[in-house]
Amino acid sequence: MNKDDLLYKYFSNSLTLKETQTFNELLEQDAAFKAQFEFEKNLKSAIKETESRKLKARLKEVEQDLANTTIKPGKTRFNYQMFAVAASIVVFLGWFGYNTLFGLNYNRLYQDNYKTYPNTVYSITRGDANNSLERAAFVAYEAEDYKQAVATFKEIEQTNKASYISFYMGQTYLELENLEAAKTMFEKVIETEKDFVPEAHWYLALTYLKLKNKTQAKVQLNTLVNTYTYNKEKALEILDRLD
């Protein structure tokens, strides 16, 4: 192996153990070899510095960019923009895909918008001595034991016709996927013209979505949007999609 090859292998980190020995011997004994080695080693450092300076210049440009795209220096608007762009692409592609490839995906619309309504009417406190049916029903509801809840709500309904009972029964039926029963309950709430009427329109619309009844879903959403503020934005969004 000649001296050039040894140097080549040194700089590409591929000297074998034996070659390393030869290499070290040459360094000690051969002044010309040593000079050539020093020259290349120095060149390596010089190039590293050249590249480091180039990188430094690039990083300074990055900082400049960051400062320009940010309202307040140093913070996160860049990320928000990226996120917004990414999100709108996802929404667009997602929607575009569903509409063109599969037609309207009712189930998806339902799932995107459906959230179980929280218990806002009956406060359950620990150690509560009240063993009323109503308490039992809401305990079951909060525990997501909807079968138990619906059984108890049915009993309550015999004597208590308040709209919130119907509303939570509707919720419970939705959870149990008894859509016709849910529909009846939400319609009852709307008839009372008392509490939970806008909410009932919203959930009735979702029920219709799940039943793939576009016309009726739109009727409910339009009523909601035109009369109430509850979930107005979401309703408008769905209406947009349904058109």
Partner 1 sequence: MENTNASHHILKALRSGSERTQREVYEANRDKFLNFAKRYALSEEDVIDVYQDAYIIFYNNIVSGKLEVLTSSISTYLFSIGKNLIMDRLRKQKRQLKTNDYTHLVQDETSDLSALDLEPEALSEEQELLRTHFGTLGKKCQEILTLFYYRGFTISEILEFSDYNSENVIKSQKSRCLKTLRELIKSNTI
Q: Is 110 helix (H, G, I), strand (E, B) or coil?
A: helix
Phi, psi of 167 (to 5 degrees): -60, -50
**DSSP annotation string for 18-45:** HHHHHHHHHHHH-HHHHHHHHHHHHHHH
Angle at which helices 146-159 and 163-175 pack, to 10 degrees?
A: 160
Looking at residue 50, the DSSP 8-state letter turns out to be H
Q: Which two tokens stand for residue 26?
A: 């040459």
* Shortest spacing between CB 87 and partner 1, in angstroms: 19
* Shortest spacing between CB 77 and partner 1, in angstroms: 13
Of the pair 34, 60, the CB lying nearest partner 1 is at 60
Of the pair 45, 123, the CB lying nearest partner 1 is at 45
* Shortest spacing between CB 59 and partner 1, in angstroms: 4
Of the pair 58, 194, the CB lying nearest partner 1 is at 58
CA distance 64 to 225: 46
Looking at residue 102, the DSSP 8-state letter turns out to be I
* Shortest spacing between CB 206 and partner 1, in angstroms: 39
* Shortest spacing between CB 203 and partner 1, in angstroms: 42
* Shortest spacing between CB 112 and partner 1, in angstroms: 30
Of the pair 73, 127, the CB lying nearest partner 1 is at 73
* Shortest spacing between CB 34 and partner 1, in angstroms: 14
Give me the residues that bind partner 1 (CB under 8 A), please: 4, 8, 11-14, 39-40, 42-52, 55-56, 58-60, 62-63, 66, 74, 76, 78
Q: Largest Cα–Cα distance in the chain? A: 109
Count each helix (H run) and each strand (E run) in the chain, helices first: 12, 0
Of the pair 24, 69, the CB lying nearest partner 1 is at 69
The backbone region for 117, taken as left when phi is positive above 0, alpha when psi lies in -120 to 50, beta otherwise, is beta
Of the pair 15, 136, the CB lying nearest partner 1 is at 15
Of the pair 57, 101, the CB lying nearest partner 1 is at 57
Which residue in 212, 133, 121 sits closest to 167, CA to CA?
A: 121
Q: Is 126 helix (H, G, I), strand (E, B) or coil?
A: coil
